[in-house]
Amino acid sequence: MRVSRPPSGSLSGCPVGLPAAKNAGVKGFPDKLARVSGSGKARNTTAPGPAAPATGMPAVADIGKALKAGRITPRVALDRVVERIVASRVGPNGPAAVKEKLGAALRQTLEDDPMLAAKIRALGDE
């Protein structure tokens, strides 16, 4: 396969009818963001901050801490996580039948998925 050059002059300059790009780099970009956000001061955009939790997901850190401390078994931890997921998705006033069906579907998925099942079994080994 042979690669040839484009005809001379075809890639030089700005295409006809389009204004030239002022500054294609990122110089000054943080300042522009600060002006748009109204803070007036540019922030350090290179260092990432703490990750924001996923919207709508229930917090389960306390369940993880209790499991690591040995206060609950992996089975109890799993049941509590499923209960929180169901409660967050269906809501406190949701129909009991829907809660039961969703909880059963989640538990069945956890048992049927080989990767998830292996991770759950590993919780009991730790």
Which pLDDT value is given to residue 49? 41
Instruction: Answer whether residue 87 is part of any domain.
Output: yes
Examine residue 12 and state whether it is found in any structural domain, yes or no: no
Assigned token pair, 125: 């080994």
Q: What is the dihedral of CA 65, 66, 70, 72, to 10 degrees?
A: -150
Q: Per-residue pLDDT for 33 more than 70?
A: no
Whether 24 is in a domain gets the answer no
Looking at per-residue pLDDT, the higher value among 53 and 80 belongs to 80
Residue 31 maps to a domain: no
pLDDT, position 124: 74
For the chain, how far is it from start to end, CA to CA, in angstroms? 57
Q: What is the mean pLDDT of residues 86-113?
A: 92
Is 23's pLDDT higher than 90? no
Using an 8 Å Cβ cutoff, are 97 and 118 in contact?
no
In this structure, is residue 103 part of a structural domain?
A: yes
CA dist 90 and 78 (Å) reads 18
Within a domain: residue 63? no
Contact between 34 and 42 under an 8 Å Cβ cutoff? The reply is yes
Q: What pLDDT score does 3 carry? A: 75
Decide if pLDDT at 107 tops 60.
yes
Cβ-Cβ contacts under 8 Å for 44 (sequence gap 6 or more): 30
40 in a structural domain:
no
Residue 117 counted as domain residue: yes
Quick check: 81 pLDDT over 80?
yes
Q: Supply the range of the domain harboring residue 91.
A: 72-125
Number of structural domains in the chain: 1
How far apart are the C-alpha atoms of 42 and 20, rounded to whole Å? 27
